[in-house]
Amino acid sequence: MVDVIKNTQMHCTYGCKTSKAVQPNVAGKMISKAKRPLLIVGSQVLKDEELLKRTIEIAKKADLPVAATGHSISGMVDSGVNAKYINVHSLATYLCDPNWKGLDGEGQYDTVIMLGHIKYYVNQVLSGLKSFSNLKTISIERFYIQNATMSFGNITPEVHVEALDELIENL
Amino acid sequence: MSELTTGSFSIDDLENVQITINNIVGAIEKEAESSDVEMGPTVKPGVSSLRDWDHNVLDRYNAVYTPMCDQCCYCTFGPCDLSGNKEGACGIDLAGHNAREFMLRVITGAAAHSGHGRHLLHHLIGLYGKDHPLDVGATNIIAPNVQLVTGVQPKTLGDLDDVLSYVEEQITQLLAAVHMGQEGAAIDFESKALHGGMIDHVGMEISDIAQISCLEFPKADEEPPLADIGMGCIDSSKPTLIVIGHNVAAITDIIDYMDEKGLNETMELGGLCCTALDMTRYKAEDRTAPQAKIVGTLAKELKTIRSGIPDVIVVDEQCIRADVLEEASRLMIPVITTNDKVMYGLKDRSNDDIEDIIEDLTTGKEKGALMFDYEKLGELAPRLTIMMSEIRKQKGIKALPEEGDLKAIADTCVHCGACEVACPDSLPISEAFTRLSEGDLTKFEWIHDKCIACGRCEYACPKDIDVVDVIEKCSQSLISEEVGKVRAGRGPISDPEIREEGVNLVLGTTPGIVALVGCSNYPDGTKDLYTIADEMLRRNYIVVVSGCSAMDLGMYKNEDGLTLYEQYPSRFRSGGLMNTGSCVSNSHITGAVIKVAAIFAQKNISGNYEEIADYTLNRVGAVGVAWGAYSQKAASIGTGCNRLGVPVILGPHGSKYRRALISKPYEEDKWNVFDARDGSEMKIPAAPDYLLTTAETVEEMMPMLAKSCIRPSDNNMGRMIKLTHYIELTQKYLGVMPDDWHKFVRTETDLPLAKREDLLKILEAEHGWEIDWKRKKILSGPAMKSDVSAQPTNLKRLCKEA
Ligand code: SF4
Ligand code: SF4
Ligand code: SF4
C-alpha cells in the first residue's frame, strides 16, 4: 500500500480549518459511496499522459460525470467519459448555490473530487466551498490541499500515479 | 469672495500688498455650476451616491468569496475563527470581512496611483506653475474619467490639483469604513470597493495627463517611437545605471544631465517596471528613438540585481522589491531612494554636498542615500555610476556562480522538494538539479521563462542553495538574446479615432476591445500574453496594452523577426495594437470607452456616471485581461473597469484576490433589461456572465474573451461576427463546440454564414427550434427577440414611459 499522508507541509496556510489527510483506498471507497458525485478535472492532466489515462479510468469505472475545467476537455474528447467544459471559478460559485441544477439538470452534488488542478488555484477555489457550502470535497492531487475536506499529502509524480492506481482498485 | 477663483490680485489703497489665493473652497463647484455644460445627477459622487447602481449590478453579478484565511485578526477582540462563515466577536461574518479586505485592497491600489499623482503634480506645479495648460493631443475631452466623475473639465495643472483633493477625500472616507464595528453588509463593502475602483481611474488619469502635458510625452500619437526592451539589450561592458519603480519625476533630471554632458554613449540607462516605460516616453514627442532602455518587469528585478550588471540603482515608488538595498549592497551596488514612500532606512542626503555623498558611497561607508533634491540626483546618479563601474571592476565583484561550480552546487541538493512546495508556480526545481548534475542546463532554462524571481525557493531550501542565481546562470545565453521592441506609450486615444471606430464597436462589427494590462505574475510564463494578442489581433479585435504586459508583449518575435508592435498599427481600429503607456495610462483605456459614449453616441458625460456605465455594459464589447495581475493596484484598476461596465478576466493567480463577481446564467429572471424607447422588458443573453473572474489557462481564456464581447445591442452582422469567433475559438482551444452558443442566437442572420445550414440543423435536432427550410428561416425557438433598434438599459429612469 502506498502511503500518501506523510507530508502535509503547506506553502502558506489558510487559517483555522485544514483538510484531513486521506489514503487512496479510503478515498476510493468514499467516492464509490457518494450519492451524487462530480469529478472536477483541471488542465494539468494534459501535461502528463499517465495522469490523463488514470483520470479517464476513474471517471469510467466509478461512472462519474466530469466537469472539465481550463482546457482539459480537449484531452477527453472521444474518450467515452461524460465530460462538460466549465470554468472552475463559476462552477464553485454554482456549487455553493442549493438552487443550482447541476451540469445535467438533475440537481446539486454532494461530493466533488478534484484532480489535475494548479495547486494554488484549486486551494483558492476550494476555500469558497469550505466556507460557504456543505459539500464534501476530496482532493486527489499530488499536493496537500488545505481547503479540501480530505486530501492526499505532498507526493512525487510517481507516487501519485501509484496512489491513483490504488484508488481505482478501490472504486 | 465667492466670485474669486485661484489667482492673485492687488488691493489699490494699500501699497506693497499682494494677496495670493491658492484655493477657495467651493471654487471648482462654482465653476462647474456656472459653465453651460449640462451636468449629470452625480457630480463628485460621495461613497453612497452610486449605491443603487452598484446594488443593481451586484444583484446579477454576485460577489464570490474565496478567502485566503478563515480568521480575522483585525482587532484585540480576536483573532476570531470565522470558518464556515461564522461571526467574529464584533459581529462581522466571513463574507463581510472578505468584502472589507477586498475594498481595502482596492483603495490601497487607488492610493498608490493617486499618491503617485499627488507627488508628481506637486513636482510639476513647482516646475511649471499652476497655470500650465494641459495638452494630451487631438481631443476635446482632455480628462474623460475626471469629467465623468466630477463634472470638471480641467484645463491647467491647477485644475487637477482640485480634483485630486476630491480623490483624496473619497479614499479617506472609504478607508474609515474599514474600521471595525461599523459596516456589516458585504454588499455595501462591495459598493465601496467599486467606488474606490472608480476613484482610482480618476487618480491615474490625473497622474498621466499631468506628465504627458509637461514632459513631452507622445500625445495621442499614432506612431510613437519604438524602444529597446529585454535583459539582453543592456551593454554590460558600459557603466550601468538602473532605475526601478513607477514615478519618473526624479529620473527626468538624470536623463537631462546625461544629455547635457553627452553621456548617452558612455553609459547605459535602463529601467524596470513603469518608470522604464515612462523614461522611453520622456521627450519622445519628436519620435526620435529613446536612449533609455527597458530591462523588463517586476519579475526581472531580482534577476537584474543578482546579475551584478547595475553599478548604481535608483528607486522611486510602487512595484519595487523591499529587499533591493540588501540584495544590491551584497554586490556593492549603491542604492539611491527618491521618494518618501520608500526610504529603506537610508540617511537623507538631500542637503549634503554631492562630493561628500559620492565619497561615502564609493568607499562603501554608506550602502545608499535618500535624495529628495532631483537636480542634485540628476548629477549624482550618472557620476556615481561611472565611478562605481570602475571600482566594482577593480574589486572583481563576482555576481553569479561560475559555470564550473554549477555541478557542485547541483550535487548539494538533497531533493527534499521544499522549494517546490514554496514556489508559487510549483516549478520542478528538484528535477532541474538532477539534470544539472548530469551537465544538462535546459530544464533550468525552461524554468527561467516561468520563474517570477520571487526568491521563495531560496528561503525554503535547507541547503541554502541560491536557486535564483542558478536559474539565471544556466540561462545566460538565453538571457543575452532577450531583446525586443516595444512602442513608447502613446497616451490617450484621439477624438478622430473614436469618431471613426465608435460605430463599429457599438454595432459589433469590430468584434471587441481586448485590454491586456497588469503585472508579471503569470501562471505559465510570459509567452501567454503574446499568444493572446497574436490570436485576437489576427481576428481584428482592438488590442490595448499598458504597463508590464505591454513590455512582455514586445519580447516575442514572428518568423521574420518582428514583434507584434512592428506588425500592427498603433491606431484605435480593428486589428490595431496600442500601448497606452505605464500603469497610470490604464486610465486611457477606460477613457476611450467613455469617449465612445461621448463622441460617438453624443452622451453627456459630465457627472453622469451611471448612464455611461449602463451604456458601456449594454453596448461596448470591451474586456480587460490582467493575466499576471499581482498587486493591489491591479485590483483597483480592474474594479474601476467593473464599475464602468467592463468585465475583467484574471489569470489563475488572480484568484488570490479572494473575490470575484460572477453571475448565474441559469437565473433566468436576472437577464432582462429595459428598452429605453418604451420601458418594456427585454430578454438579453448571459454575456458577459461575469464582471471579474479567473481563467485557468490561456486556452480556456480565448473563447471567454470572444463571449465576453457579446452585448445586447449587437446588430445582426455584429452578432454573427462575435458568434463566429466564439465558436471558432472554442473549437480551436477546447476541441468542442460551446454548449451555449444557441443562447445567443436571435434570428438566422445572427448565425455565422459559413456554418448557417449546419447550425440550423443542430437547432432543430438538439434544441427543438422550428425552421422553415425553404427560406432557411427560424420560425420559433430563440429566447430573445431580434430588434436592433432597441435601446437596452438597466436604468428605468432613462426610459421614455418611466
Ligand atoms: S474585527 Fe471582528 S472578526 Fe476581526 S478580530 Fe476583531 S472582533 Fe474578530
Ligand atoms: S524564484 Fe522562481 S523558482 Fe523560486 S520560488 Fe520564485 S518563481 Fe519559483
Ligand atoms: S529545497 Fe533545496 S535541497 Fe530541497 S529540493 Fe529544493 S533545492 Fe534541493
Residue B429 CB less than 6 A away from ligand 3: yes
Residue B419 CB less than 6 A away from ligand 3: yes
Question: Is there a domain that residue A73 lies in?
Answer: yes
Buried b (16+ CB within 10 A) or exposed e, B266-281: ebbbbbbbbbbbbbbb
* B198 and B341 together in one domain: no
Alpha carbon distance B644, B632 (integer Å) = 19
Question: Any bridge partners for residue B272, and if so which?
Answer: B244, B296
Residue nearest to atom 3 of ligand 1 (CA): B88
Q: Is A119 on the interface with B (CB under 8 A)?
A: yes
Interval B416-449: pLDDT, tens:
999 998 999 889 999 999 999 999 999 999 999 8
Minimum-distance ligand 3 atom for the alpha carbon of B422: 1
* B251 and B138 together in one domain: no
Residue B78 CB less than 6 A away from ligand 1: yes
Domain CATH number, residue A69: 3.40.50.1220
The Cα of A22 is separated from the nearest Cα of chain B by a number of Å equal to 19
C-alpha cell of residue B542: 482592438
* B571 and B458 together in one domain: no
Find the CB nearest A124 among B66, B689, B695: B66
Question: Is there a domain that residue B310 lies in?
Answer: yes
Q: Distances in Å between the alpha carbon of A119 and those of A123, A124, A154, B245?
A: 6, 9, 11, 31
Its pTM stands at: 0.94
Sign of CA dihedral B175, B125, B285, B371: negative
Give how many domains chain A has, as a whole number.
1
Interval A4-56: pLDDT, tens:
888 887 777 788 888 999 999 999 999 999 999 999 999 999 999 999 999 99
Interval B311-353: pLDDT, tens:
999 999 999 999 999 999 999 999 999 999 999 999 999 999 9
C-alpha cell of residue B81: 475563527
Q: Pairing mode, if any, of strands B240-244 and B312-315? A: parallel
Q: Which residues of B touch A42 (CB under 8 A)?
A: 696
Residues 692-711 of B with CB under 8 A from A: 693-697, 699-700, 704
The Cα of A4 is separated from the nearest Cα of chain B by a number of Å equal to 15
C-alpha cell of residue B472: 539565471
B352 class by beta-carbon count within 10 Å (0-12 exposed, 13-18 middle, 19+ buried) = middle
Question: Is there a domain that residue A62 lies in?
Answer: yes
- B416 Cα–ligand 3 center, Å: 5
Question: Is there a domain that residue A7 lies in?
Answer: no
Pocket test for ligand 2, best of B302, B303, B425 (most atoms within 8 A of CB): B425
Question: Is there a domain that residue B793 lies in?
Answer: no
Q: Any alpha helices (H) in B396-494, and if so which ranges?
A: 406-412, 418-422, 429-437, 442-450, 456-460, 467-474, 476-480
* B145 and B87 together in one domain: yes
Question: Is there a domain that residue B238 lies in?
Answer: yes
Interval B118-165: pLDDT, tens:
999 999 999 999 999 999 999 999 999 999 999 999 999 999 999 999
Question: Is there a domain that residue A9 lies in?
Answer: no
Q: Is the pLDDT of residue B19 over 80?
A: no
User: Could you report the predicted ipTM of this complex, rounded to two decimals?
Assistant: 0.96
> For residue B80, which ligand has an atom nearest its CA?
1
Q: Which residues of A touch B694 (CB under 8 A)?
A: 87, 89, 121
Name the average pLDDT for chain B: 93
Q: Any alpha helices (H) in chain A, and if so which ranges?
A: 24-33, 49-61, 88-95, 119-132, 157-169
C-alpha cell of residue B474: 544556466
CB contact under 8 A, A74 and B733: yes
Interval B754-771: pLDDT, tens:
999 999 999 999 999 999
Q: What is the DSSP string of B85-106?
A: G-B-TTS-BHHHHHHHHHHHHH
CB contact under 8 A, B421 and A128: no
Whole-number pLDDT of residue B31? 54
Question: Is there a domain that residue B220 lies in?
Answer: no
Whole-number pLDDT of residue B720? 96
Average pLDDT over residues B92-105: 96
Alpha carbon distance B62, B663 (integer Å) = 6
For Cα atoms B243, B246, B251, give the angle at the middle one, nearest 5 degrees.
Answer: 45
C-alpha cell of residue B547: 504597463
* B710 and B622 together in one domain: yes
* B568 and B678 together in one domain: yes
Residue B215 CB less than 6 A away from ligand 2: no
Contacts of A95 (CB under 8 A, 6+ apart): A108, A109, A112, A129, A133, A135
Residue nearest to atom 8 of ligand 3 (CA): B413
Whole-number pLDDT of residue B123? 97
Question: Is there a domain that residue B32 lies in?
Answer: no
Q: Is B73 annotated as a binding residue?
A: yes
Domain CATH number, residue B158: 1.10.8.190
Q: Distances in Å between the alpha carbon of A149 and those of A122, B621, B728?
A: 13, 40, 39
* B60 and B133 together in one domain: yes
Question: Is there a domain that residue A5 lies in?
Answer: no
Question: Is there a domain that residue B162 lies in?
Answer: yes
Residue B423 CB less than 6 A away from ligand 2: yes
Domain CATH number, residue B304: 3.40.50.2030
Average pLDDT over residues B359-379: 98
Interval A44-93: pLDDT, tens:
999 999 999 999 999 999 999 999 999 999 999 999 999 999 999 999 99
Q: Is the pLDDT of residue B652 over 70?
A: yes
Q: Which residues of B touch A97 (CB under 8 A)?
A: 664
Domain extent, residue A94, equals 20-169
CB contact under 8 A, B699 and A43: yes
Find the CB nearest A77 among B85, B664, B735: B735
Residue with cell 498587486: B631
Whole-number pLDDT of residue B33? 53
- Which residue type sits at A73? I
- A104 Cα–ligand 1 center, Å: 41
Q: Is the pLDDT of residue B36 over 70?
A: no
Whole-number pLDDT of residue B359? 98
Q: Is the pLDDT of residue B34 over 60?
A: no
Q: In what order do the strands lie in the sheet with A150-151?
A: A20-21, A150-151, A136-139, A111-115, A37-41, A66-68, A83-85
Whole-number pLDDT of residue B21? 52
Q: Is B548 annotated as a binding residue?
A: yes
* B714 and B623 together in one domain: yes
C-alpha cell of residue B457: 525557493
Q: Is the pLDDT of residue B2 over 50?
A: no
Whole-number pLDDT of residue B578? 97
Give how many domains chain B has, as a whole number.
4
Using only the alpha carbons of chain A, give its radius of gyration: 14
Alpha carbon distance B131, B512 (integer Å) = 39
> For residue B463, which ligand has an atom nearest its CA?
3
Question: Is there a domain that residue A58 lies in?
Answer: yes
Interval B769-802: pLDDT, tens:
999 999 999 999 998 888 878 999 999 999 986 5
Q: Is the pLDDT of residue B469 over 90?
A: yes
Question: Is there a domain that residue A53 lies in?
Answer: yes
Residue with cell 438579453: B684
Q: Is the pLDDT of residue B23 over 60?
A: no
CB contact under 8 A, B68 and A84: no
Q: Which residues of A touch B736 (CB under 8 A)?
A: 73-74, 77, 85
**Helix, strand, or coil (residue B531):** helix
For residue B596, what is the DSSP state?
Answer: I
Q: Which residues of A touch B656 (CB under 8 A)?
A: 120, 124
Interval B486-496: pLDDT, tens:
999 999 999 99
CB contact under 8 A, A131 and B739: no
For the ranges A99-103, B320-324, B519-523, B617-621, the lowest mean pLDDT is seen at: B519-523
Q: Which residues of A touch B67 (CB under 8 A)?
A: 14-15, 127-128, 131
Q: Give the residue on A whose Cα is nearest the Cα of B704.
A: A87
Question: Is there a domain that residue A15 lies in?
Answer: no
Question: Is there a domain that residue B365 lies in?
Answer: yes
Average pLDDT over residues B500-505: 89
Alpha carbon distance B312, B332 (integer Å) = 9
Question: Given pLDDT bands bounded at 50, 70 and 90, which one contains residue B3?
Answer: very low
Question: Is there a domain that residue B298 lies in?
Answer: yes
B155 class by beta-carbon count within 10 Å (0-12 exposed, 13-18 middle, 19+ buried) = middle
* B444 and B525 together in one domain: no
Q: Is B67 on the interface with A (CB under 8 A)?
A: yes
* B587 and B532 together in one domain: yes
* B245 and B175 together in one domain: no
Question: Given pLDDT bands bounded at 50, 70 and 90, which one contains residue B289?
Answer: confident
C-alpha cell of residue A32: 464509490
| Contact assessment for residue B211 and residue B278, using Cβ atoms and an 8 Å cutoff | yes
Question: How many other C-beta atoms lie within 10 A of the C-beta of residue B504?
Answer: 17
- B790 Cα–ligand 2 center, Å: 53
Whole-number pLDDT of residue B497? 95
CB contact under 8 A, B70 and A84: no
Whole-number pLDDT of residue B508? 82
* B383 and B429 together in one domain: no
Domain extent, residue B448, equals 420-465
The closest alpha carbon to B102, from B648, B654, B701, belongs to: B654
